[in-house]
């Protein structure tokens, strides 16, 4: 075991939910590894703005988690720079808005890209992080899923299916990796980010069905992730729904 600030890898963390999670953990003294596929300048800026731990070792590590070779390089870089990993937050995801009845628009290329990034990537990251977890302190995994995983209401049919698969993986691995590694999921509802600004017409309809009468924020998800890691030590295999009660209304 090592001592010092925990090492936290957050995929897709140059902006939005991932960026908020990075700030929350950095505020508590963690060393945060920012990851992005293409947003280099944004990711580097995020890493530079994080509250610094005593050793000031936050960094940006570029990798496309849809590519197995880049995942291997990512883990190699972490091992060389830090020697271990304590927390992995699988946040990176991609999607395209396609009406569920428009099955003819679900191309093979779209299916493959959503599978690679939204499901296979997190699985490979977990597999290849295991040696680094063994050197860490109380290792934990959080998969950022979606309420689409259980409601089947999301940006497209394939996206919903991949998030359901990631949630099922969470349950399986919570059992398989216990007691050494805790594995949990967070299912955000509609979160107000740059991505969802394009869905303004949907917001009002969504709000009418949300008991807490507001959209979620990236900070809401960040607090949920932080609580799972630090305040709920006897929880594993759990799916924490953070949607203001929307799933109660359908």
Give me the CATH number covering residue 189: 3.40.50.720
Is position 1 within any domain? no
d(CA 155, CA 148) in angstroms, rounded, equals 8
Backbone dihedral angles phi then psi of residue 191, each to the nearest 5 degrees: -110, 135
Q: Cα separations (Å) of 233 from 3, 219, 237?
A: 19, 21, 12
C-alpha radius of gyration, the chain, whole number: 17
Locate 135 and state its tokens: 């050197």
Q: Which domain covers residue 88, as residue numbers?
A: 7-248
Q: What is the pTM of this model?
A: 0.94
Is position 204 within any domain? yes
The DSSP code sequence of 125-178 is: HHHHHHHHHTTSSS-EEEEE--THHHH--SS-HHHHHHHHHHHHHHHHHHHHST
Output the pLDDT for position 193.
78
Locate 204 and state its tokens: 């009002």
Is position 231 within any domain? yes
d(CA 110, CA 235) in angstroms, rounded, equals 35
Is position 2 within any domain? no
DSSP class of 52: P
Is position 70 within any domain? yes
Is 159 known to be catalytic? yes
Catalytic residue among 82, 115, 159, 171: 159
Angle between helices 16-27 and 218-230 in degrees, nearest 10 = 50
Output the pLDDT for position 40.
83
CB 50 within 8 A of CB 32: yes
d(CA 69, CA 86) in angstroms, rounded, equals 22
Output the pLDDT for position 205.
77
CA within 13 Å, CB half, 50: 35
Is position 117 within any domain? yes
d(CA 119, CA 98) in angstroms, rounded, equals 19
Structural domain tally of the chain?
A: 1
Beta strand residue intervals within the chain, DSSP E:
7-10, 31-36, 59-62, 87-90, 140-144, 182-188, 239-242
Low-confidence ranges of the chain (pLDDT < 70): 1-3, 53-56, 195-203, 250
Output the pLDDT for position 198.
63
Output the pLDDT for position 101.
97
Helices (H), 83-147: 108-115, 121-133
Locate 96 and state its tokens: 């395209």
Give the tens place of pLDDT for each residue, 209-233. 899 999 899 999 999 999 999 999 9
């Amino acid at each position: 075991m090592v001592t010092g600030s925990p090492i936290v890898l957050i995929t897709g963390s140059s902006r939005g939910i991932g960026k908020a999670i990075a700030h929350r953990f950095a505020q508590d003294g963690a060393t945060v590894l920012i990851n992005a596929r293409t947003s280099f300048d944004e990711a580097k800026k995020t890493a530079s703005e994080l509250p610094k731990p005593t050793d000031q070792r936050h960094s940006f590590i570029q990798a496309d988690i849809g590519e197995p070779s880049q995942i291997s390089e990512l883990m190699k870089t972490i091992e060389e720079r830090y020697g271990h990993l304590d927390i992995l937050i699988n946040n990176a995801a991609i999607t395209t808005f396609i009406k569920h009845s428009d099955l003819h628009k679900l191309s093979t290329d779209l299916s493959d890209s959503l599978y690679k990034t939204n499901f296979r990537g997190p699985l490979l990251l977990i597999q290849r992080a295991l040696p680094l977890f063994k050197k860490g302190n109380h290792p934990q995994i959080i998969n950022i899923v979606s309420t689409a995983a259980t409601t089947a209401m999301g940006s497209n049919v394939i996206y919903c299916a991949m998030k359901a698969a990631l949630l099922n993986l969470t349950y399986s691995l919570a059992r398989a990796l216990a007691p050494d590694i805790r594995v949990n999921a967070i299912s955000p509802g509609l979160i107000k980010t740059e991505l969802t600004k394009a869905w303004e017409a949907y917001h009002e309809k969504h709000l009418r069905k949300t008991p807490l009468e507001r959209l979620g924020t990236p900070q809401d998800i960040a607090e949920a992730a932080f609580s799972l890691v630090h305040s709920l030590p006897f929880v594993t295999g759990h799916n924490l729904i953070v949607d203001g009660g929307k799933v109660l209304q359908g």
